């Protein structure tokens, strides 16, 4: 392909690649600046003042909102649940998603069809996904309970969404169902970028799929996988619609994760000063949880290149 | 005069077609549909021949009232010549959407539909216009004395000023499945003890067939679990707050109400905490539950053969009582009014709309329209309603007369959320009724603090 | 892998991911009384959900709005993110802080940020417009696009670009003729993700879209959910109708995903 490209007349002024490169990042930086920095400053202002939507920034209250947030056991509890849910769902979705991607890579028949079919959960609007799973999980007239009882695995219907532990696991299940396809799609795309010669040669010599995967595929895929995991982790922290519809945070506080709790404080109760402080605290937690992975990601990328 | 398109006609025909299938709708209905509002001279006079042609009115309704959009829009357009646009909002978002519209200065809307429990907040935040003087000036056509019992004040009055006019007088009644009751040889309960016993008998006998004695809606959403609690609170003669506005959640009645909910749970469709509007309605309509506390719309749905297996097999009684209390005091669960936006560019037009929506004549029309789900707000509407819905008529009349309200001070949304959380913990088995009510009381005192 | 193992495994995977969708398709054919029977298949076919779903909400209008804001939003994301990601990775612009900043803007939940953004868009006259939502979605997903694309850019063989530079090929021409074709699998998969994120976004849509002219499918669906009597059948119809266009687009994008692979990196 390169030889078909025309040469430029020598001597004409051409800004160095670096300058143009810098210029092409401008829209991204400006866009995010407006979208993120301005709200961030506003958020800071809200968090340190007595504020509601009608009269923001009434008076400086220092760290009072932060103290209130940290003194609220429900908020602190929600942070823990957010961390737990985000990590569990990322881990599960990664294992499942990568396995599916590997399976897809092996597929011969109907590969394209299967690959798009697997995307369906990701396409499902979250509100609908929650409602459909609610129907599947209902103790009375829900399909899953009937199925498990037919198999004699249970003798009484299980109240999946009405029992704290199973409600949390149900949210996890639906989140994994919805987001594993994302992992599968991205890891499949990453698989396609692996140099196929090495791969084929290894396959011929070793012949055990697991050995090839463990010693060839995985190390080469590793940086990309951490990248996908980081994004899934952050998206997991932002989970909202699902909890809103599936459990409304219940039973008790069992599925009240921070994004949902902040919504309640900010949008339903309009205490946006407190909600702002909670948002900042939550962002710090998400940041702390993510940083080790981004560092690992950078290192892995450097090692590879 | 607006031109009627084929599509409109089709819609109207389909509507009438649907109605004709319903056996319990009689005379008034066809009259109400056939006779346009304009034929009513009194109604035309009421509108004072206001001419708003060339102007546009935009109003917000909650999604459950989507069926009201068409009649409201058509009537207002015909009366005033204004162009009317409506936006539907999920019921849990009205306050946030209305407030943001006014506070941000966007002022897209002229009229908001609101839950009376949000009234304190909406008035304090300057979202709704104070229409006290307009009501006084137009007293003859508004006819406030015609509103039922305490409903007018509960829905519109805060700190001596009025911010809207009632549209839908909501209250719960107890629906039951006669077929299931006959099969089990039980009678409709009059006390919450009987309710639990009846429910236990049915569940015991028919659980194997997936039929349960009752549905208790206890999903952790204020309007859902809060309504179930309020029904029992009224039954035991309790109140949310006393005359001075102090919380009374640790009263004997309140604790007994919470306890009654907890005690009935094992006999209800599993499990109350998972039961919200969405999944409970199909269960009752599918004949899989003996009793449900619900708004009167349930009666309309239950008679629709397309979605109901219990056509003609249901009946309705007032909410049971409990403890020493013998007089049933129903709770005002939900309840909607229209108010003029404080940001409306055309307050006269907004007021005319609010007035029309709550007027006797228009109310009589939407009351007998199956698609609106509107319950009576006016005394004059009671006879019409009884004819329209003979089964519910008497019960609803009594229920709406002397219903007791939820808190509606500016902190009400926060308070109801706190109560919801505590009731949820109780239903999940983490707290006893006494603990939950004690903690809710403390939370309320803290919020009022 | 053992082929005997492959077929049952793949079947299991497919079942897990598609069963709730099949269930939804069945719900779309059920009347209300059929919802809680515990059966997968409807006892009585209730076709009326289909016309009724379009009658009870302005579904066609919502679909059109969603298509407009999501596709242009995703396009905007890609137009900004592809050259920027390439530049940041290749020229190490912003060293380590810029990538960290980009991801950092994405970690906070957007609930409170909603208010300042709403005020900003109002002042620009962009509330309740397609343009406003396209801008929000276009920018909102930039961190996702950057993060996903950067790992693909890193995997591009740098030699080709260097050869082009030595040959005097211009910056943008190199981008267009060499980088983008090689990045196609990454761009396609990233595009699908951004499109889906924009298409299903609810929170911003519910406040920025304030009339039927701009309201999107998730708002329409929330109206079903925000009703007391949840019309399960109609909601399923509306959801299926919402999924079809994105599914078709995804199929279309995936052809690129494969083509990118064959014009390929390994060759």
DSSP for B323-337?
Answer: TT--S---B--S-EE
Number of CB atoms found within 10 A of residue C41's CB: 10
- pLDDT tens figures, B320-369: 999 888 888 888 898 899 999 999 999 999 999 999 999 999 999 888 88
| DSSP one-letter code for A214 | I
Q: How many residues does chain B have?
A: 449
- Report the C-alpha gap between C170 and B184 in whole angstroms: 86
Contacts of residue A28 in chain C, CB cutoff 8 Å? Answer: 80-81, 84, 102, 142, 146
Asked, for residue C141, whether it belongs to a domain, the answer is: yes
C119-127 LR contacts (CB < 8 Å, sep 24+): C119/B104, C120/A34, C120/A38, C121/C208, C122/B104, C122/B105, C122/B106, C127/B104, C127/B106, C127/C208, C127/C210
C5 interface with A at CB cutoff 8 Å:
no
Q: In this prediction, what percent of chain A has a pLDDT beyond 90?
A: 33
Same domain for B141 and B115: yes
* Distances A263 to A243, A292, B255, B442 between C-alpha atoms, Å: 11, 28, 30, 23
Contact in structure between A165 and A241 (CB atoms under 8 Å): no
Q: How confident is the model at residue A206 (pLDDT cuts 50, 70, 90)?
A: low
Contact in structure between B172 and B319 (CB atoms under 8 Å): yes
Strand ranges across the sheet with B111-115:
B83-89, B56-62, B111-115, B336-340, B165-168
Ordered by start, the domain boundaries in chain A are 78-269+290-304
CA dihedral sign of residues B269, B273, B276, B279: negative
Same domain for B119 and B241: no
Please report the DSSP string for B68-87 in residue order. HHHHHHHHHHHHH--EEEEE
Total CB pairs under 8 A between chain B and C: 93
Beta strands, E only, B139-181 = 157-158, 161-162, 165-168, 172-177
Nearest chain B Cα distance for residue A258, angstroms: 15
pLDDT of residue B45: 53
- pLDDT tens figures, A239-282: 988 998 888 887 888 999 999 999 988 887 788 889 999 999 99
Residue of C nearest to B70 (CA): C56
Mean per-residue pLDDT of chain B: 85
Q: How confident is the model at residue A221 (pLDDT cuts 50, 70, 90)?
A: confident
Contact in structure between B151 and B400 (CB atoms under 8 Å): yes
- Report the C-alpha gap between A90 and A93 in whole angstroms: 5
Same domain for B220 and B119: no
Total CB pairs under 8 A between chain A and C: 304
B206 interface with A at CB cutoff 8 Å:
no
Contacts of residue C37 in chain B, CB cutoff 8 Å? Answer: 286
Contact in structure between A135 and A142 (CB atoms under 8 Å): yes
Beta bridge partners of B215: B292
- Report the C-alpha gap between A41 and A46 in whole angstroms: 9
Nearest chain C Cα distance for residue B438, angstroms: 31
Contact in structure between B62 and B373 (CB atoms under 8 Å): no
Parallel/antiparallel/unpaired status of strands B83-89 and B336-340: unpaired
- Report the C-alpha gap between A277 and A284 in whole angstroms: 11
Contact in structure between B288 and B269 (CB atoms under 8 Å): yes
Contact in structure between C35 and C232 (CB atoms under 8 Å): yes
Residue A11 falls in which region: left (phi positive, over 0), alpha (psi -120 to 50) or beta: left
Same domain for C94 and C31: no
Contacts of residue A17 in chain C, CB cutoff 8 Å? Answer: 91, 165, 171
Give me C259's structure tokens. Answer: 């083509």
Q: How confident is the model at residue C262 (pLDDT cuts 50, 70, 90)?
A: very low
Give me A238's structure tokens. Answer: 């932002």
Same domain for B259 and B294: yes
A39, A103, A197: residue with CB nearest C117: A39
What is the CATH T-level fold of the domain A78-269+290-304, as seen in this structure?
MetI-like fold (1.10.3720)
Asked, for residue C199, whether it belongs to a domain, the answer is: yes
Contacts of residue C84 in chain A, CB cutoff 8 Å? Answer: 24-25, 27-28
Which segment, B134-138, C113-117, C205-209, C230-234, is predicted with the most confidence on average? B134-138
- pLDDT tens figures, C46-100: 888 888 888 777 888 999 999 999 999 999 999 999 999 999 998 888 777 888 8
| Degrees, nearest 5: CA angle C213-C215-C220 | 130
A54–B279 C-beta distance less than 8 A: no
B212, B274, B414: residue with CB nearest A159: B274
B104–C119 C-beta distance less than 8 A: yes
Contact in structure between C219 and C209 (CB atoms under 8 Å): yes
Contact in structure between B129 and B382 (CB atoms under 8 Å): no
Contact in structure between B118 and B154 (CB atoms under 8 Å): no
Contacts of residue A125 in chain C, CB cutoff 8 Å? Answer: 200, 217-218, 221, 239, 242-243
- pLDDT tens figures, A92-113: 999 999 999 988 877 667 777 8
Based on its alpha-carbon atoms, the radius of gyration of chain B, rounded to whole angstroms, reads: 22
pLDDT of residue A66: 94
Contacts of residue A163 in chain B, CB cutoff 8 Å? Answer: 271, 428
Same domain for C163 and C78: yes
Same domain for C244 and C182: yes
B92–A141 C-beta distance less than 8 A: no
Contacts of residue A131 in chain B, CB cutoff 8 Å? Answer: 278
Contact in structure between B69 and B86 (CB atoms under 8 Å): yes
| B401, B421, B439 - which closes a domain | B401
Nearest chain C Cα distance for residue A102, angstroms: 10
- Report the C-alpha gap between C54 and C227 in whole angstroms: 16
B89, B288, B297: residue with CB nearest C36: B288
Any idea what the CATH number is for the domain that residue B300 is in?
3.40.190.10
Asked, for residue C183, whether it belongs to a domain, the answer is: yes
Asked, for residue B406, whether it belongs to a domain, the answer is: no
Contacts of residue C148 in chain A, CB cutoff 8 Å? Answer: 186, 227-228, 231
A290–C111 C-beta distance less than 8 A: no
Same domain for B384 and B418: no
A133–C192 C-beta distance less than 8 A: no
The pLDDT of residue C103 is above 70: yes
CA dihedral sign of residues B315, B319, B321, B327: negative
Residue of C nearest to B278 (CA): C230
Beta strands, E only, chain C = none
B424 interface with A at CB cutoff 8 Å:
yes
* C179 Cβ neighbours under 8 A, 6+ residues apart: C86, C153, C156, C161
Q: How confident is the model at residue A171 (pLDDT cuts 50, 70, 90)?
A: very high
Domain that holds residue C12: 1-47
Contacts of residue B414 in chain A, CB cutoff 8 Å? Answer: 269, 271
A169 interface with C at CB cutoff 8 Å:
no
- Report the C-alpha gap between B229 and B258 in whole angstroms: 6
Same domain for B269 and B317: yes
| H helix intervals, A207-271 | 209-212, 218-237, 241-246, 258-263
Phi, psi (deg, nearest 5) at residue A253? -110, 15
- Report the C-alpha gap between B96 and C115 in whole angstroms: 11
Please state the separation of Cα A241 from the chain's center in Å: 13
Q: In this prediction, what percent of chain B has a pLDDT beyond 70?
A: 89
Asked, for residue B1, whether it belongs to a domain, the answer is: no
- Report the C-alpha gap between B153 and B145 in whole angstroms: 11
CA atoms within 13 Å, Cβ hemisphere of A261: 29
A268–B413 C-beta distance less than 8 A: yes
Beta bridge partners of B3: none
End-to-end CA distance of chain A: 24
C103, C111, C261: residue with CB nearest A267: C111
Beta bridge partners of B115: B336
Specify the number of domains making up chain B.
Answer: 2
Asked, for residue C267, whether it belongs to a domain, the answer is: no
Contact in structure between B339 and B354 (CB atoms under 8 Å): yes
Contacts of residue C126 in chain A, CB cutoff 8 Å? Answer: none
Same domain for B236 and B159: no
| Degrees, nearest 5: CA angle B165-B417-A240 | 105
Same domain for C246 and C115: yes
A162–B270 C-beta distance less than 8 A: yes
Q: Does a cis peptide bond (omega within 30 degrees of 0) precede residue A251?
A: yes
Beta bridge partners of B59: B86, B111
B96, B126, B210: residue with CB nearest A140: B210
- Report the C-alpha gap between A263 and A278 in whole angstroms: 10
Chain B residues at the C interface, defined by Cβ less than 8 Å, are 58, 62-64, 66, 85, 87-93, 97, 100-101, 104-106, 108, 210, 277-279, 281-283, 285-288, 295, 297, 301, 306-309
- Find, among A255, A249, A246, the residue nearest to A131 by Cα: A246
A252, A268, A271: residue with CB nearest B425: A252
pLDDT in tens, chain B (449 residues): 333 444 443 444 344 333 333 323 333 333 344 345 555 555 555 554 578 888 999 999 988 888 888 899 999 998 889 999 998 888 878 888 899 889 888 898 999 999 999 999 999 989 999 999 999 999 988 999 999 878 899 999 999 999 999 999 888 899 999 999 999 999 999 999 999 999 999 999 998 888 999 999 998 889 999 999 999 999 999 999 998 889 999 999 999 999 999 999 999 988 898 888 888 888 899 899 999 999 888 888 898 887 788 999 999 998 999 988 888 888 889 889 999 999 999 999 999 999 999 999 999 988 888 777 788 899 998 888 888 888 877 777 777 667 888 998 888 888 998 999 999 999 988 899 999 999 999 999 998 87
C107 interface with A at CB cutoff 8 Å:
yes
- Find, among C107, C149, C190, the residue nearest to A224 by Cα: C149
Chain C neighbours, 3+ Cβ pairs < 8 A = A, B
Chain A neighbours, 3+ Cβ pairs < 8 A = B, C
The pLDDT of residue C249 is above 80: yes
Same domain for C165 and C215: yes
Residue of C nearest to A100 (CA): C13
Q: Does a cis peptide bond (omega within 30 degrees of 0) precede residue B271?
A: yes
Q: How confident is the model at residue A14 (pLDDT cuts 50, 70, 90)?
A: low
Same domain for B256 and B189: yes
Residue of B nearest to C229 (CA): B278
| Degrees, nearest 5: CA angle C162-C165-C169 | 140
Number of CB atoms found within 10 A of residue C2's CB: 8
Longest dimension (CA), chain C: 72
A181 interface with C at CB cutoff 8 Å:
yes
Give me the mean pLDDT over the C250-255 stretch.
Answer: 78
Specify the number of domains making up chain C.
Answer: 2
C100, C151, C246: residue with CB nearest A227: C151
C17–A192 C-beta distance less than 8 A: no
The 3-state DSSP class for residue B166 equals strand
Contact in structure between C128 and C214 (CB atoms under 8 Å): yes
Mean per-residue pLDDT of chain A: 84
Same domain for C222 and C188: yes
Domain that holds residue B373: 6-170+334-401
Strand ranges across the sheet with B289-295:
B212-215, B289-295, B172-177, B314-317
Same domain for B416 and B389: no
Parallel/antiparallel/unpaired status of strands B212-215 and B289-295: parallel
Please state the separation of Cα B71 from the chain's center in Å: 19
Residue located via tokens 């706190």: B418
B63 interface with A at CB cutoff 8 Å:
no
Contacts of residue A138 in chain B, CB cutoff 8 Å? Answer: 274, 279
Phi, psi (deg, nearest 5) at residue B166? -65, 145
pTM of the model: 0.86
Asked, for residue C218, whether it belongs to a domain, the answer is: yes
| DSSP one-letter code for C65 | H
Same domain for B416 and B369: no
- pLDDT tens figures, B41-91: 555 555 545 788 889 999 999 888 888 888 999 999 988 899 999 988 888
Tell me what ipTM this predicted complex has: 0.88
């Amino acid at each position: 392909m390169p030889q078909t490209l025309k040469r430029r007349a020598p001597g004409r002024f051409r800004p160095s690649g670096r300058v143009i490169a810098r210029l092409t990042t401008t829209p991204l930086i400006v866009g995010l600046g407006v979208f993120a920095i301005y709200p961030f400053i506003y958020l800071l202002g809200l968090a340190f003042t007595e504020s509601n939507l009608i009269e923001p920034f009434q008076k400086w209250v220092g760290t009072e909102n932060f103290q209130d947030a940290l003194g609220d056991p429900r908020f602190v509890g929600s942070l823990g649940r957010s961390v737990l849910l985000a990590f569990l769902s990322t881990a599960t979705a990664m294992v499942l998603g990568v396995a599916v991607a590997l399976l897809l890579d092996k597929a011969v028949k109907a590969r394209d069809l299967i690959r798009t079919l697997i995307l369906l959960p990701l396409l499902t609007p979250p509100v609908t996904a929650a409602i459909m799973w609610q129907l599947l999980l209902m103790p009375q007239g829900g399909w899953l309970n009937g199925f498990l009882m037919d198999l004699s695995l249970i003798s009484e219907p299980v109240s999946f969404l009405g029992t704290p532990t199973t409600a949390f696991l149900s949210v996890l299940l639906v989140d994994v169902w919805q987001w594993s396809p994302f992992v599968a799609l991205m890891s499949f795309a990453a698989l396609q970028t692996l140099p196929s010669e090495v791969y084929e040669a290894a396959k011929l010599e070793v012949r055990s799929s697991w050995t090839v995967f463990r010693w060839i595929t995985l190390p080469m895929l590793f940086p990309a996988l951490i990248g996908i995991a980081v994004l899934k982790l952050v998206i997991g922290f932002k989970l909202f619609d699902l909890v809103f519809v599936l459990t409304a945070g219940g039973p008790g506080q069992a599925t009240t994760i921070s994004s949902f709790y902040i919504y309640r404080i900010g949008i339903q109760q309009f205490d946006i000063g407190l909600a702002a402080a909670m948002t900042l605290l939550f962002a710090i937690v998400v940041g702390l949880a993510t940083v080790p992975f981004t560092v690992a990601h950078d290192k892995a990328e450097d090692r590879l290149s | 005069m607006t031109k009627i398109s084929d599509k409109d006609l089709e819609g109207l025909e389909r509507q009438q077609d649907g109605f004709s299938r319903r056996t319990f709708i009689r005379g008034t209905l066809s009259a109400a549909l056939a006779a346009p509002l304009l034929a009513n001279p009194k109604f035309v006079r009421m509108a004072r021949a206001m001419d708003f042609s060339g102007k546009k009115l935009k109003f917000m309704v909650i999604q459950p009232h989507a069926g009201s959009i068409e009649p409201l829009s058509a009537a207002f357009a015909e009366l005033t010549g204004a162009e009317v646009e409506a936006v539907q909002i999920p019921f849990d978002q009205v306050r946030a959407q209305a407030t943001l519209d006014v506070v941000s200065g966007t002022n897209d809307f002229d009229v908001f539909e609101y839950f009376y429990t949000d009234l304190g907040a909406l008035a304090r935040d300057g979202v709704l216009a104070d229409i006290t003087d307009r009501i006084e000036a137009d007293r003859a056509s508004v006819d406030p004395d015609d509103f039922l019992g305490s409903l007018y004040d509960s829905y519109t009055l805060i700190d001596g000023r009025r911010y809207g006019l009632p549209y839908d007088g909501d209250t719960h009644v107890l629906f039951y499945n006669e077929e299931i009751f006959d099969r089990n040889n039980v009678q409709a309960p009059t006390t919450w003890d009987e309710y639990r016993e009846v429910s236990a008998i049915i569940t015991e006998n028919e659980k194997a067939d997936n039929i349960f004695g009752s549905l208790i809606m206890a999903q952790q959403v204020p309007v859902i679990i809060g309504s179930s609690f309020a029904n029992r609170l009224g039954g035991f003669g309790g109140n949310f707050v006393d005359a001075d506005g102090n919380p009374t959640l640790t009263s004997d009645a309140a604790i007994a109400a919470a306890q009654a909910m907890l005690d009935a749970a094992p006999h209800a469709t599993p499990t109350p905490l998972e039961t919200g509007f969405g999944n409970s309605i199909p269960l009752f309509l599918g004949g899989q539950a003996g009793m449900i506390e619900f708004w009167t719309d349930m009666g309309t749905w239950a008679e629709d053969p397309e979605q109901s297996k219990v056509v003609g097999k249901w009946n309705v009684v007032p909410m049971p009582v409990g403890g020493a209390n013998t007089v049933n005091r129903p709770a005002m669960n939900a309840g909607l009014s229209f108010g003029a936006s404080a940001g409306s560019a055309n307050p006269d037009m907004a007021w005319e709309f609010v007035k029309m929506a709550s007027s006797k004549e228009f109310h009589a029309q939407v009351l007998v329209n199956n698609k609106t789900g509107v319950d009576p707000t006016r005394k004059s509407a009671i006879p019409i309603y009884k004819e329209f819905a003979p089964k519910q008529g008497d019960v609803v009349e009594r229920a709406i007369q002397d219903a007791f309200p939820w808190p509606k001070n500016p902190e009400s949304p926060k308070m109801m959320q706190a109560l919801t959380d505590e009731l949820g913990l109780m239903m999940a088995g983490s707290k006893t009724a006494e603990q939950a009510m004690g903690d809710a009381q403390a939370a309320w005192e803290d919020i009022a603090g | 892998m053992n082929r005997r193992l492959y077929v049952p495994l793949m079947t299991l995977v497919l079942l897990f991911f598609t069963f709730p969708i099949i269930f939804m398709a069945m719900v779309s054919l059920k009347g209300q009384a059929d919802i809680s029977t515990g059966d997968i298949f409807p006892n009585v076919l209730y076709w009326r959900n289909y016309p009724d779903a379009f009658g009870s909400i302005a579904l066609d209008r919502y679909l059109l709005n969603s298509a407009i804001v999501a596709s242009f939003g995703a396009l905007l994301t890609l137009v900004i993110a592809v050259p920027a990601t390439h530049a940041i990775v290749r020229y190490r612009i912003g060293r380590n802080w810029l990538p960290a900043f980009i991801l950092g803007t994405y970690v906070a939940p957007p609930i409170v940020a909603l208010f300042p953004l709403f005020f900003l868009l109002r002042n620009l006259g962009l509330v309740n417009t397609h343009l406003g939502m396209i801008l929000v979605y276009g920018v909102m997903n930039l961190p996702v696009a950057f993060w996903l694309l950067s790992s693909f850019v890193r995997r591009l063989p740098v030699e080709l670009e260097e050869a082009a530079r030595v040959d005097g090929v211009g910056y943008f021409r190199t981008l267009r003729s060499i980088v983008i074709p090689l990045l196609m699998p990454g761009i396609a998969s990233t595009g699908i993700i951004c499109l889906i994120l924009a298409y299903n976004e609810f929170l911003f849509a519910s406040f920025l879209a304030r009339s039927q002219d701009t309201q999107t499918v998730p708002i329409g669906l929330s109206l079903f959910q925000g009703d007391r009597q949840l019309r399960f059948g109609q909601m399923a119809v509306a959801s299926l109708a919402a999924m079809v266009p994105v599914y078709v687009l995804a199929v279309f994008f995936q052809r690129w995903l494969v083509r990118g692979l064959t014009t390929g990196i390994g060759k």
